[in-house]
Amino acid sequence: MKKKALFISGGWEGHEPIETSEYISEQITKFDIESQIVIDLEVMSDLDYLKSFDVILPVWTMGKIDDDNWEIKNSKVGNLQEAIHSGVGLAGWHGGMSDAFRDNTNYQFLVGSQFVCHPGNFVDYEVNIIDKQHEIVNGIDDFKVFSEQYFLHIDPSINIIASTKFNKEYHEWIDGVEMPVAYTKTWGSGRIFHCSIGHYMKDFENEHVVKLLVQGINWAVK
């Protein structure tokens, strides 16, 4: 029986949300996951609809969500939280997941991180595999990438799968700071996976990035 993924795609167009969603939705077919891509946040108002999927992927950089940040019950983010708590997975990449709805702290609490900066913009950096036994990194060794090196504010409860270190070229005070590139966390019965790489389609020319991402999505599906 095939698993079902819901891509909620939109927001800032510079991250190519539709194009990247279509590409990743094709890549995860190898795990017998079929996808639906929607471009309207109103789907988050329907809790039963959200619960009908095995994994939800927010691909919605920045943007606004019309929730009261203090009233979580029956809100869009509240429904997302409840769906994940019930056992639906949550997965995503780059700003599409960790830089969505900047003013909604309930969303940030769920996903486990918030983008704050990418010093130097596009740079060469190394990704180091930390949890070498995790199924998400099966067949993946340390690798190099040319992309935005995300500096995140993170939930201390996350499990770091892969990380990167900053140097002092742009800000000397962050020299040697280690930052998650890929992590997992749980929310009730739900599994959550995030990868900070994936700015646009060109990032997916790196086979290590694609493998890390699709294996992470498959893990979130359970």
Separation of alpha carbons 25 and 162, rounded Å = 23
**Domain ranges for the chain:** 3-221
Query: Quick one: pLDDT band at residue 73, thresholds 50, 70, 90?
Result: confident
Render pLDDT for 161-204 as a digit per residue (tens, 0 to 9).
Answer: 999 999 999 999 999 999 999 999 999 999 999 999 999 999 99
CATH class held by domain 3-221: alpha beta
Separation of alpha carbons 59 and 179, rounded Å = 21
What pLDDT was estimated at residue 185?
A: 98
Residues 192, 193, 197: CA angle, nearest 5 degrees: 150
**Region 77-87: what's the mean pLDDT?**
97
